[in-house]
Homo-oligomer: A and B are copies of this chain.
């Protein structure tokens, strides 16, 4: 369930989550959130701290589902400490990659220890979501946070062509005002760090986008 009073945020999140295969309900304020949560028992609630009626903490107290808080990057960020054990938070403005990563982490933690796919693999490139480690050809590679998010997005969409606009929408914060040049820069960084051996995995499709995949044999 997604709870936020701003329709743009609500739509952004619910569309992105639906696309990833989640079933999504939404609520625009605290009372509606509590009501829907009681009626439908969602697996997880993405909850804005700042709501017009009840605040997010109060809503969290009244429901039983694990919560992923959305909060501004300011004083309220500190108040978030003292979360329930399964819970977590993301600061606004966020990137979709980040929200989805946290959602999966919370679900993995609270739901059984079944540890679903926490390890992504493409050819001899590997990424572990728990430890955030990355290996290429057996060698450990150190990535900055943005590099990691970008590589993670590529690997979760291996074989699919991603436009720079798509990449910008998923990996960068939703309020990022700059142009797509930054994507080129980061692809360049990634190539240097994880794609400096054969077979090359990151391919440019001129005037279309990028794709991560093993080159077809032959």
> Is A198 in the interface zone, CB < 8 Å from B?
no
A159 to B128, CA, bound (A): 11
- Residue A133 interfacial (CB < 8 Å): yes
A84's contact among B12, B89, B131, B144, by CB below 8 Å, is which? B12
Is A120's CB within 8 Å of the partner chain B?
A: no
A206 contact from B82, B83, B86, B145, Cβ within 8 A: B145
CB <8 Å contact, B82 and A15: no
CA distance A23 to B177 in the complex (A): 36
Among B12, B130, B138, which residue has its beta carbon within 8 angstroms of that of A85? B12
**Inter-chain contacts of A207 with B (CB < 8 A):** 145
Contact partner of A80 (CB less than 8 A), chosen from B81, B109, B135, B165, is B165
Which residues from B are CB-within-8-Å of A159?
131
How many copies altogether?
2
Is A217 at the interface (CB under 8 A from chain B)?
yes
Any B CB within 8 A of the CB of A139: yes
Q: Is A160 an interface residue (CB 8 A)?
A: yes
Contacts of A130 in B (CB 8 A): 160-161
What's the minimum C-beta distance from A176 to chain B, rounded to whole angstroms?
7
Fill in one digit per residue for A156-182: 1 if any B CB lies within 8 Å of its CB, else 0: 000111010100110000111011100
Q: What residue of chain B has the Cβ atom nearest to residue A20's Cβ?
A: B85
* Residues of chain A in range 20-34 having any CB-CB distance to chain B below 8 Å: none
